[in-house]
Chains A and B, each alone.
Chain A
Amino acid sequence: MGAIANQLGITGGLLISQIVNFILLLAILRVTLYGPVLKMLATRRERIAQSMKDTERVSAAAREAEQEKAKLLEAARREAQEIRAQATRDTEKIAQDIRARAEQEATDIRMKAQADAKTQVETALSDANKQIADLAISATEKLLGRELGNKDEQQRLVEEFLTQHANGGSAR
């Protein structure tokens, strides 16, 4: 055994020194290399997981916002449509109102004008009647050459006659 070991160049001292060397190397590398690197790997894994979770959350939020937006848009559109329809209806109504009022006013004005005309005609007529009666009386007085007594009575008679005549004339 010893002879073989010697031929292969194996010596106890070198063997032990190599074992010690390896264990020292292991201890040092464990502290200086494996520890920090594994920690860094763990940190990175965590970070990536976290950021992926964040991404998912953000995209979920975005999706929600999108839905919310669509809903809002739909509601707004519906509302706008409603408002438009209402406005159209209102406008029509107002136009109708205005038209009705205008018509009403026009009618009123016409009626008033008619009434005015009528009163004016009546006034004119009555004035004319009165003048005619006066003329008739004065003409009669002139014809008779004297003043008629009971002037009031006579005037009333003339007027009555005229009125009847006018009525009869209009009836004819």
Chain B
Amino acid sequence: MESNQNFLQSLGASLGRLAQRLWAGIDAYIKADTRRAAIIGGIIVLLVLSFIIRAPQPHVSLKAEPILAGGPSWFTNSLLTTFVVDIILLLVAFLATRNMKLVPSGLQNVMEAIIEYLYGLAESVAGRAAATYFPWAATIFLFVLVSNYTGLIPGVGSIGYYHNEAAVEHAVNADSQLAMAGGKLILAKPIAAEEATAEHAEFVPFFRAPSADLNVTFALAIATMVMVQVHGVRALGGKYFKKFWNTSGHGFMKGINIFVGILELVSELSRILSFAFRLFGNIFAGEVVLATMAFLITFLVPIPFYLLEVLVGAVQALVFAMLSLVFFSMATISHEHSEEHH
């Protein structure tokens, strides 16, 4: 009994000494470099806070959702954001060219740099035809870039409201939705109408990055691939379609040529898909990653992912513009001609 007490006493004393020594060490550390200590302390505090202040479960929806409950189904949040992007671009165009000076400054300088870079890109890909292809590629780049970056603005995707009445409509609309459950992405079962009305009010954000909506990416992809055909016909006339239906050659070669034509057709169609899904996938996935990271650890951890998304947004815009330039100039190269070279 007594020995037990002694043991506890000595244990308490040694623990006290240990705490004292630890505190002395911390004190010395703070005094050695106050700034570094403050930064590290701030990081620890933020990480601890991350487990106290939790971000809400991320709202993940594959589709763009109608904003107004009971309103028109076509008025989606991505459509609204598309208008915002349009307005931003038009405003930039207006402000950059309002008072042009030979010695540029400010926005004029920025836009000149971007446009000169894009024009240089068009020239490097298309050579003399650059002037024809440039507006398309530049518009793609600017629109996609701003679209991608709207998704990174705080509030886009997180400010919205809960639909109650719309839930019924939603349940019908959304057969199955991607949803977050316990930090895991699952394909959620369709929400039963009565359940939805009762408790699971549907959260609908006001804004959604246009490039995270397949309508937008498909629209850009289809328009671009149609434009590819237009440029092809413009450059080669009716001969352009020989690419898809080539009956030259004899016997076996004829069969091969027809098969190659079918392959060309398929590759043209697959380009639409790859265009649309590449952009959508990158941006949508980026938003999901950001939301998920914020949900798991509220502070600090999302920052590197955010920086990554800034990079991805620019790269995807450039890739879309670059590929459209490449396809434009590829379509204008005569197929027969290139075969002679082989």
Contacts and interface: CB of A to CB of B under 8 A. Distances in A.
Given A10-B218, A22-B143, 7 more contacts: A11-B215, A18-B82, A21-B219, A25-B89, A29-B142, A32-B97, A34-B135
B123 to A, nearest CB: 12
B176 A14 contact: no
The secondary structure that dominates the A interface is helix
Contact of A32 (B93, B112, B215): B93
B79 interface: yes
B309 interface: no
B97 A26 contact: no
A34 B138 contact: yes
Interface of B: 62-64, 73-74, 76, 79, 82, 86, 89-90, 92-94, 96-97, 100, 102, 104, 108, 111-112, 115-116, 119, 134-136, 138-139, 142-143, 175-176, 210, 213-216, 218-220, 222-223
Contacts of A8: 62-63, 214
Contacts of B213: 9
Contacts of A76: none
Interface stretch (A37-45, A90-98, A131-139, A149-157): A37-45
B222 A37 contact: no
Nearest to B74: A13
B214 A29 contact: no
Interface of A: 6-11, 13-19, 21-23, 25-26, 28-30, 32-34, 36-38, 40-41, 43-44, 47
A34 B115 contact: yes
Nearest to B114: A37
A11 B119 CA distance: 34
B115 A44 contact: no
Contacts of B215: 9-11, 14-15, 18
27 contacts: A7-B175, A7-B176, A8-B62, A9-B64, A11-B215, A14-B79, A17-B74, A18-B210, A18-B220, A19-B222, A23-B223, A25-B89, A25-B90, A26-B135, A28-B93, A29-B93, A29-B135, A32-B94, A32-B97, A34-B134, A37-B96, A37-B97, A37-B108, A37-B112, A40-B112, A41-B115, A41-B119
Contacts of B63: 8-9
